[in-house]
Amino acid sequence: MQGRHYDNGIGSSDAASQGSIRAELLKSRPALRPGEVLEFVPGLMVTQHSGDGKANQYFLRGFNLDHGTDFATSVNGMPVNMPSHAHGQGYSDLNFLIPELVDRIDYRKGPYFAPNGDFAAAGSADIVYQRRVDAPFVSLTAGEGRYRRGLVAGSSDWGHGLQWMGAAELMGNDGPWSLPEGLNRRNLVTSLSRTSGPDRWTVSLMDYHARWRSTDQVPERLIEAGTLAGRPFGRFDAVDPTDGGHTRRTSVSAQWSRDEDGQHARLAAYAIDYQLALFSNFTYALDRPDTGDQFAQEDHRKVYGLSGSQAVEHSLGPWPARTEVGFQLRQDRARVGFFQTQARVVTDVTREDRVRETMLGVYGQTSVEWTPWMRTVLGLRADQGRFRVDPLSGNGDAGSARQTLASPKLSVVLGPWARTELFLNAGRGFHSNDARGVTSTADPAPGLSKAKGYEAGLRTEWIPGLQSSLALWTLDFDSELVYVGDAGATEANRASRRRGVEWNNRYVPLPWLLIDADFAWTHARFADQDPVGNRIPNAVDKVATLGVTLQALGPWSASVNWRYLGSGALVEDNSVRSRSSFTTNLRLSRRLGDKTELTLDVFNLADRKVNDIEYFYESQLPGEAAPVADRHVHPAEPRTLRVTLRRSF
């Protein structure tokens, strides 16, 4: 079972915190939302603080990554993170993902890897789709909250090495909210690929649309009072019933590769057409008591990219070596706006800009095996960001800026001894800042904010059936991207330092039993001294997951997963902290013959009353005479059942 779920054995990676997850594991466990496939990355937590059509909230290594800052995600070679996004820097919406099509997830943590550029300082995940499905299938799901989903997928061989694969998904959900979410999602994926000798190419087309209503975070004082404007109010009620949004993402991509005689060449190109309109109200009636504080964030962009790499296996004197060089070019042409609205009707323009942002990265790295028990990987990456902003209306500065950054990388791998490897890693990474802040004339932010990271780790398979890794790491940032709850966006802030410990375990004591146990502890602080305090808001200090998976017990399979999201400071002086949460998910499956399977998923099995996210800031409800500093929460969903019937052909 272990080999079919992970590709993380001895000799497979350059760091203790690097690895791959196979499709077999993804199929064995339930996911409430598509983005939760990232929870298979050890130490990463996925939640939601708004409607399910919006990008998820991510937590990793003491970062509240908001919607993706400092964690780079790609699907089939296309980046998901959006720089200079209308809602937040690095916005990473994975709702277009179809989990059943995922072949593997390759993850890396820390800034130690030369091929990784913008947003990858804390980590990255490359999600790869299958080129074909084992057999055509139809999957139908129904659940509480009027959840319904239909998925059909298939593939065929067209001869001469050509393979076609396609999938279509329709999904709707109202959720547990008093205001029905009305989420409607449609999703299409198709690809054509060909393998001919050492050459392989794939062309893919994806099209995704979604619209929804949001029940955003609400102040705890309102839940405790139990009424708003004379009507009952509970945990799952909305203050502004017109919050919500709609989004679209259409892409075409092409990939080519050749593997022959110790040489490995890759070339990829993509084009993305993306739109988002998001209506939010986090302060209710603080700034505009008569009309309410709802605002709209709109993003219309086209993204173009090209990347390539060449790797050669060779000798460096008497030592075996492998050298890789590559480049990545990306340009975003976006129109982003921030508007004051009332019931989704624009009443004023705060600012609207045309943004052009170009990122060029080149890198090289060489791995040398000095002895059978020691190898090194030395890399160097150079990135240049070019930013241009042209105001269209409202406040804003016109301008352009450019910045170049060099990022050295080093990894040392020792062993194996007794099926145990030791790792030492160091490197520099970065995240880009919003172009509108970079080109500001008042207080410009740096275009590329540097990060320095160090890690010492080990991976062992000394105990038969147990794969265990331990990592001690440090990450320093020149400028922290912090989520501002009352504005609903991220902004550049003070320098920061994080350090932590991660312990990950995969144990297969019996052929039909897999046990996963991941634990992470983080110490996160601002690096400078300030009277307001040095805690980083929403930096969670502990996370843990435990999973037990039973496979092929006759017609039955099952998994139980426990997840713990720890507490974190909500303000810099640590006077207010979030509360930890602990939830349990269950999946139970039974085969009904060779081609039919029935699956029951139960989320939050114990029906615990916990929160997905908590913030602390000032807001003012209708009828309140003055602003109130309060904890604002978005509850996790209560116990939720879903049943899936899948039929193959």
Q: Find tokens 């090495």 and name the residue.
A: 161
- Residues 30-64: pLDDT tens digits? 999 999 999 999 999 999 988 899 999 999 999 98
Please, how many CA atoms are within 13 Å of residue 116, restricted to the half-sphere of its CB? 28
**According to the 3-state scheme, what is the secondary structure of 294-325?**
CEEEEEEEEEEEEEEEEEEEEEECCEEEEEEE
What is the residue range of 376's domain? 2-648
* CATH (domain of 165): 2.40.170.20
Distance CA 121, CA 383 (A): 14
- Residues contacting 503, CB < 8 A, separation 6+: 468, 469, 470, 518, 519, 520
Q: Hey, which residues does 36 pair with through a beta bridge?
A: none
Does residue 452 carry a pLDDT above 80?
Answer: yes
Under DSSP, the state recorded for 410 is E
What does the pLDDT look like over 266-275, one tens digit per residue?
999 999 999 9
Q: Give the integer Cα–Cα distance in Å for 311 and 48.
A: 40
Structure tokens at 312: 């050669």
- pLDDT surpassing 60 at residue 1: no
Of 46-50, 103-107, 309-313, 610-614, the least confident = 46-50
Tens of pLDDT, residue by residue over 329-379, are: 999 999 999 999 999 999 999 999 999 999 999 999 999 999 999 999 999
Give the pairing type, strands 218-219 and 628-635: antiparallel
Token pair belonging to 609: 């009353």
Which phi and psi (to 5°) does residue 388 adopt? Answer: -140, 130
pLDDT tens-digit map of 107-150: 999 999 999 999 999 999 999 999 999 999 999 999 999 999 99
Q: Is the confidence at residue 484, as pLDDT, over 70?
A: no
- Residue 5's pLDDT is 59
Mean pLDDT confidence for 205-211: 98
Q: Has this prediction a pTM greater than 0.85?
A: yes
Weakest mean pLDDT among 356-365, 483-492, 507-516, 599-608: 483-492
pLDDT of residue 441: 87
Dist. CA 369–CA 442, nearest whole Å: 51
Cα 380 from chain centre: 25
> Is pLDDT at 179 greater than 70 in this prediction?
yes
pLDDT confidence of residue 485: 47
User: Residue 65 has what pLDDT?
Assistant: 84
| Cβ-contact 95, 53 below 8 angstroms | yes
- Using a 10 angstrom Cβ sphere, with 0-12 exposed, 13-18 middle and 19 or more buried, the burial of residue 355 is buried
Confidence of residue 504 (pLDDT cuts 50, 70, 90): very high
Q: In whole angstroms, give the CA distance from residue 405 to residue 626.
A: 47
Residues 308-331 have a mean pLDDT of 97
Least confident of 17-26, 323-332, 408-417: 17-26
Quote the CA–CA distance of 223 and 188 in Å, as a whole number. Answer: 40
Tokens describing residue 523: 């110490």
Contact partners, residue 220, CB within 8 Å, separation at least 6: 630, 631, 632, 633
Backbone φ/ψ region at 612: left (φ over 0), alpha (ψ -120 to 50), beta: alpha
Q: Peptide bond preceding 99: is omega within 30 degrees of 0, i.e. cis?
A: no
Q: How many residues does the chain have?
A: 649
CA distances (Å), origin 201, targets 45, 326, 456: 34, 18, 38
Give the count of alpha carbons within 13 A of 546, CB side only. Answer: 5
Contact 536, 4 (CB under 8 A): no
Label residue 493 by pLDDT band (50, 70, 90): confident
What is the 3-class SS of 233-250, one letter each residue? CCCCCCCCCCCEEEEEEE
Of 447, 448, 449, nearest to 436 (Cα)? 447
Total count of domains within the chain: 1
CB–CB of 421/461 below 8 Å?
Answer: no
In SS3 terms, 437-485 reads as: HHCCCCCCCCCEEEEEEEEEEEEECCCCCEEEEEEEEEEEECCCEEEEC
How much is the pLDDT for 114?
97
Q: Are 330 and 304 in contact (CB under 8 A)?
A: yes
Distance CA 258, CA 346 (A): 52
Q: What is the pLDDT of residue 10?
A: 81
pLDDT at 3 over 60: no
Note whether 392 and 470 are within 8 A (CB): no
Q: Which residue has the tokens 């209306």?
A: 393
Q: Mean pLDDT score of the chain, rounded to an integer?
A: 94
User: 192 with 205: CB under 8 angstroms?
Assistant: no
Report CA-CA distances (Å) from 529 to 494, 532, 533, 577, 616. 10, 9, 7, 20, 22
Q: At residue 195, does pLDDT exceed 60?
A: yes
